[in-house]
Structure 1
Amino acid sequence: MTEETKYTEDNIRSLDWKEHIRMRPGMYIGKLGDGSSADDGIYILLKEVLDNSIDEYVMGAGKTIDVSIQGQKVIVRDYGRGIPLGKVVDVVSKMNTGGKYDSKAFKKSVGLNGVGTKAVNALSGYFRVESTRDNKSASAEFEQGELKDENFLEETSRRKGTKVSFVPDETIFKNYKYRSEYVEKMLKNYVYLNPGLTIIFNGEKFYSEDGLKDLLSESIPEEDRLFPIIHLKGEDIEVAITYSKAQYSEEYHSFVNGQHTVQGGTHHAAFRESIVKTVREFFGKNYEASDIRKSIVSAISIKVMEPVFESQTKTKLGSTDMGGKLPTVRTYILDFVKRQLDNYLHRNPETAEKIQRKILQAEKERKDLSGIRKLAKERAKKASLHNKKLRDCRIHLGDVKKERNLESTLFITEGDSASGSITKSRDVNTQAVFSLKGKPLNSYGLTKKIVYENEEFNLLQSALNIEDSMEELRYNNIVIATDADVDGMHIRLLLITFFLQFFPELIKEGHLYILQTPLFRVRNKKETIYCYSETEKREAIQKLTGKPEITRFKGLGEISPDEFKYFIGENIRLDPVMLDKETGIEEMLSFYMGKNTSDRQEFIIENLKVELDILEEK
């Protein structure tokens, strides 16, 4: 019998601020990641620093923010009021310290709990803050939250404001790199939400005059819009609405106090409800909500006094009221949309007519699909009881109160051997596997009917839980895991076509990835190195002494489950699938997936020449 574990005063330990953040980073910045996903921790660190500079702009101090990312070092410089010089160290290293507790100074700011920059400080291998005001300057340098150096200048000619430099800690963020596409999207959102603000990122200028209207213009090309963007503004609310000709599902961009609430919340739900209510009352018809919202592309931004979010990363609003004596969030949004959208539709009858035609078309399609939809749902329900295609995980994206919900991942694999390897080596808490049987159908040019008629597409839609909207999406990361051969590439292309055709916002919102798997294993008796390219293979051969054994992996099925866990664990390498902003979805799909054209043949020949040139160089 084992001796009973002693539980005394010695077992009780208080962590100081930085120890707690470093021990439980997920509580403060969501998931860690390596930079391949927009919600990885390195971007949250940047966001936390930027939020303070944005709040300065909102308070009327400083119209420009400079952002520089060179390699792993990030520098954010604003020209606001500057941190009070005697508090420079406290503001970045003492919990619950900050100006935002004084509501006179910051009325509707994002960061209200004084945690943001402290988390950045604690999770950075190098962190420096410098504040300039009244021709004086103070700075402090930290390492993993520990103060290393402090300076005070009585005289300086520097412009007032705050400059924060940091390098995320490599012991916490493994093999990370900043992707400029994600940084640019974040910065664009900031300027859309703050018209008149200029952000300069590595020399490139971002600026917006028309706010959310500019956001939708960027999100949906003009040729894909059913009608010009409806842009409505109030004191604490801004809304932009149009419909897409090219996509089936709903797409929303929602913000609170400048924070992108990617998981929605009370304001998002009220906005969806208000559109349905207004349209029904305007036409005097009790149209189905899903028919009204089908193909909508829209954005909403509200400002709330002391917002309550459901997590530290502020991705979902929990507040039910606007603050003070103002009405509830729901009532405020319903009243605004009802009044403003109704007025707009009366003044623009041609837009109203296009909306009504779109609703009637959606209604017809829904009725045409109703029989097959019912059969498909029954089939999916039966399949889910003994679904061999889906091996689910325990934590899903909708579990916002669970710490690892942002890590929820669905691997889409081909064949039994590959899915078997992933299934045996996955993390059952956050990683699910969906197994394809052979090549999926080329869905280009087909209607939504095919999603229900084709068993694999129907079960995949059911597994993701995205039939009606992205609201209930079950996995944050959807990862296509196919062999790196011609067949595997073709399956990737067919799956990307399916998502682009029917669920493009999955790609727009950064949920779709390609899994990188090693091409070679190089090993000797002491060490094994997995290589993802010829260059990595050459480096591994040089590193390992003697004559290392080299194995070329031909397919995922060849990789044993014991090895596979290294490729889908903390060292996972993912390539995000991103849309070209210059090209409409319809145009892109017809080029790549439509009938063979001379344009496409020329494109392939040109790119083959480039590949051959690369091979000749080697």
Structure 2
Amino acid sequence: MAENVDYNDDSIRSLDWKEHIRLRPGMYIGKLGDGSAYDDGVYVLLKEIVDNSIDEFVMGSGRTIEVTMSDHKVSVRDYGRGIPLGKVIDCVSKINTGGKYDSKAFQKSVGLNGVGTKAVNALSNFFTVQSYRDGRTKIAEFEKGELTRDEPEKETSQRNGTAINFIPDDTIFRHYRFIPEFVENMIWNYVFLNSGLTLNFNGKKYLSERGLYDLLVRNADAENLRYPIIHLKGHDIEIAMTHGQSYGEEYYSFVNGQNTTQGGTHQAAFREAVVKTIREFYDKDYDAADIRASIVAAIAIKVQEPVFESQTKTKLGSQNVGPDGPSVRTFIGDFVKRELDNYLHKNSATAEALKARILQSERERKDIAGIKKLANDRAKKASLHNRKLRDCKIHFDDNHERKQDTTLFITEGDSASGSITKSRDVQTQAVFSLKGKPLNCFGLTKKVVYENEEFNLLQHALNIEDGIDNLRYNNIVVATDADVDGMHIRLLLMTFFLQFFPDLVKAGHVSILQTPLFRVRNKKETIYCYSDEERRNAIAKLGNKPEITRFKGLGEISPDEFGLFIGKDIRLDPVFLKDANIKALLEYFMGKNTPTRQQHIVNNLRVEKDDESVNPLIAENLDSVELPVAS
């Protein structure tokens, strides 16, 4: 029976704005994280600031935005109208204060809630705002939302605009760092959606002339496209689409410039409209899965007063494009029906190539139908008592506040999975145990996913057979030993994901678990080290010949210790895929050109004299993909 606690006037508390944000940051910026995942809160902080500058550009003020970033600090300078000088402090420190409640000033803005910049302020150790307006300037400085410096207005020769600098609070974002690749993707999306905008990021200039067409050029394997990119633009809507050679569906969706990574009503309407239009154009009742197989598409719409399913605005919930406008489904459906149908009638070569791709998908689907049914039946039976999967209770496709934390660790062997299983958070962390090295699936068809029991069970554990819309775990973490065999297993798993489910990698769901290589301790203190440099620093700190343990495999780490490395201080190396030709990349590293790879390793062999160890430096020609390699 619960303890009887007095409930009276003293039980009621009123928090001021910054106290509430700092007490419940997840309500405002989603998951906290350390910057190792694309959807971690530190990137939401940056996005909230840049969004305001984008809104200025959309309203016709300021064609250039400058973003400067180090591991822990961000500066954003735009050349818009500048915050009215008398309201500079209010706009960054008073909830429900801003210009976006005036629909005439910001008709189709992302930030409608008057919270974004205030959340950045409250969650930063250091925050400054400076407005330049009509020859005068005003600057204010804060620490964790508290005003620490309020300078009077003075004259300036600077151009109009706003400059904001902030350093996130490292007591909230523990061990965080900004990863430039995640920010670069964000920057590219901004320029793709705003033709005419120039965005300078750490001295490099980003701009786009063709909008979503350029987005697909950058993100799709250009050499493997089945037909030229179809690019359609209308009032408050833009679409680009094509079909490639890879499996699955890949979408980039946006609302008012916001990247809706979890889709929503607009993405669902687009998928439905494409199927309906193509069926009517060819007068054939093609299976929807055959039409959408291998599709790569981007859609951007503008909605007045959009409704998102959370403050982080990653999924659109609006049913209508405006208070008096049509439904999102009707708006997109009518546009796709009219414009895509016209395009296919005018471009017969593209229409024929699209039809050929659909028929190929149909043949492939029928070819694996028999083995797929048997494999699914086996998977259903295995799911009742799947010894490979130690599941958790909360999943990414649940309606639960902790769903962003859901993680699947993929381990090698029973010893490693045993340590993780005993120390994991059973609410959000699951473990999938491999029996050894998985099959090298490069060059094989998707039939192998169903024929290979291990791949089939992994596919079902992730729930990605029909795409990643119903993905069960937000974070897929490859947890292998930091040795040659462990790195080989990483490459084999990455080949599986890139060959059959590349959207998992492109969406930032896959990462590599860092585990300590050394334990350095004396009677008073224990330090876990993830590199030789950290080991040397630990020895220098503890002095007097401390005990040093070299961990050779995950199975050597006790469950009690392992709990320290997969909790709030977990270290992850995200796997990036950018500007890559996946087929060429996999062919080089996983194909039959063994002599070429052997010579590459010999030419790039590196000797670490301090540590008397030899490491193959395999990443030199991997500019497009970064697969973290243990020291």
Which range, TM-score by smaller chain? over 0.9
Q: Which residue of 2 aligns with 1:382?
A: 381
Larger displacement relative to structure 2 (536-545 or 209-218): 536-545
Distance 1:218 1:541, change over 3 A: same
- The aligned counterpart of 1:478 is 476
| Aligned residue in 2 for 1:489 | 487
Match of 2:573 in 1: 575
Match status 1:585 vs 2:582: yes
Q: Distance in 1 between matches of 2:545 and 2:519?
A: 13
The answer for the alignment partner of 1:299 in structure 2 is 298
Aligned-partner SS, 2:576: coil
Amino acid at match of 2:518: F
In structure 1, list runs of 5 or more residues that go unmatched. none
Q: Does structure 2 conserve the Cα–Cα contact (< 8 Å) formed by 1:26 and 1:404?
A: no
Counterpart in the other structure of 2:73:
73
The aligned runs of 1:309-388 (5 Å cut-off) are 309-388=308-387
Aligned length: 614
The Cα of 1:579 is off from its aligned counterpart by 2.0
Q: Secondary structure at the match of 1:101?
A: coil
1:258-273 equivalences in 2 (<5 Å): 258-273=257-272
* Other structure's SS at 1:5 match: coil
Q: 2:617 is matched with which residue?
A: none
SS, match of residue 152 in structure 1: coil
| Structure 2 CA distance for partners of 1:320 and 1:534, relative to 1, 3 Å | same
In structure 1, what is the Cα distance between the partners aligned to 2:387 and 2:15? 46
Find the counterpart in structure 1 of residue 625 from structure 2.
Answer: none
Q: Are 1:128 and 2:113 matched, yes or no?
A: no
AA in 2 matched with 1:458: N
Contact 2:320 2:327 in 1 (8 A): yes
2:465 is matched with which residue: 464, 467, 471?
Answer: 467
Q: Secondary structure at the match of 2:300?
A: strand
Give the partner amino acid of 2:28: Y
Paired position in structure 2 for 1:7: 7
Aligned-residue offset at 1:519 = 0.6
Q: Which residue of 1 aligns with 2:118?
A: 118
Q: Deviations over 1:63-108 (max 9, x none)?
A: 0000001331110000001111111111111111110001010000
* 1:474 CA drift (Å): 1.3
The alpha carbon displacement at 1:376 in A equals: 0.8
SS in 2 for 1:322: coil
Q: Residues 35, 102 of structure 1: CA spacing in aligned structure 2 closer, same or farther, 3 A cutoff?
A: same
Compute the displacement of 1:612 (Å).
Answer: 5.6
Q: Select the residue among 416, 430, 433 that pairs with 1:418.
A: 416
Q: Given the two structures, how large is their TM-score scaled by the length of structure 1?
A: 0.97
Q: Aligned with 2:465: secondary structure?
A: coil
Hey, what does 1:235 align to over in structure 2? Answer: 235
- The amino acid that maps onto 2:434 is L
Q: CA shift at 1:439, angstroms? A: 1.1
SS in 1 for 2:128: strand
Identity %: 69
Q: Report what 1:173 is aligned to.
A: 173
- Answer with 381-390 or 186-195: which moved more: 381-390
CA-to-partner distance for each residue in 1:184-240, whole Å, 9 max, x for gaps?
Answer: 100000000001000001110000010000000000132021111100000110000
Counterpart for residue 603 of structure 2: 606
Structure-to-structure mapping, 1:436-475, within 5 angstroms: 436-475=434-473
Q: Once the 2 structures are TM-superposed, how far is the Cα of residue 9 of structure 1 from its aligned partner?
A: 1.1
Partner AA of 1:153 in structure 2:
E
Structure 2 match to 1:149: 149
* 3-state SS of paired residue (2:577): coil
Per-residue deviation at 1:395? 2.1
Distance 1:27 1:558 in 2: 39
Q: CA 1:590–1:3 in structure 2 vs 1: closer, same or farther (change >3 Å)?
A: closer
Q: Write the distance in 2 (CA, Å) between the matches of 1:218 and 1:614.
A: 41
Residue in 2 that maps onto 1:201: 201
Distance 1:13 1:183 in 2: 38
Q: Which residue does the alignment assign to 2:622?
A: none
- Who is 2:618 aligned against? none
Change (3 A) 1:206 1:554: same
Are 2:607 and 2:613, in contact at CA under 8 Å, matched by a contact in 1?
no
1:369 CA displacement? 0.8
Q: Does residue 91 of the first structure (1) align with residue 88 of the second (2)?
A: no
Alignment TM-score, normalising by the size of structure 2: 0.95
By how many angstroms is 1:154 displaced?
3.5
State how far apart, in whole Å, the 2-side matches of 1:48 and 1:398 are.
26
CA distance, structure 2, for counterparts of residue 482 and residue 424 of structure 1:
17
SS in 1 for 2:601: helix
| Residue deviations 1:326-364 (CA, integer Å, cap 9, x gap) | 210000000000100000000111111111111111111
Provide the secondary structure at the position in 1 that maps to 2:538.
helix
2:542 alignment partner AA: L
Match of 1:498 in 2: 496
Contact 2:138 2:153 in 1 (8 A): yes
Q: 2:591 corresponds to which residue?
A: 594
Counterpart of 2:545?
547
- Given residue 546 of structure 2, which amino acid in structure 1 is its aligned partner? P
Q: Secondary structure at the residue paired with 1:382? A: helix
Question: Secondary structure of the equivalent of 1:470?
Answer: coil
Is 1:21 the equivalent of 2:56?
no
CA–CA separation in structure 1 for the residues paired with 2:543 and 2:608: 32
Question: Per-residue CA shift, 1:493-548, capped at 9, x if unaligned?
Answer: 11001001101111111111110110111111111100111111111111114331
The whole-number CA distance in structure 1 between the counterparts of 2:434 and 2:30 is 31
Looking at structure 1, the residues matched to 447 and 97 of structure 2 have their Cα atoms a distance apart, in angstroms, of: 56
1:556 matched residue in structure 2:
554
How far residue 398 of structure 1 moved from its aligned partner, in angstroms, is 2.1
CA distance in 2, matches of 1:211, 1:395: 38
Specify whether residues 606 and 248 from structure 1 end up closer, same or farther in structure 2 by C-alpha distance, changes over 3 A only: same
Does the aligned pair in 2 maintain the 1:30–1:404 contact within 8 Å? no
Q: What per-residue deviation string (whole Å, max 9, x for no partner) do you get for residues 385-437 of structure 1?
A: 111111112222223x4222221111001111111111111112221111111
**How large is the RMSD of aligned CA atoms in angstroms?**
1.5
Secondary structure of residue in 1 paired with 2:469? helix
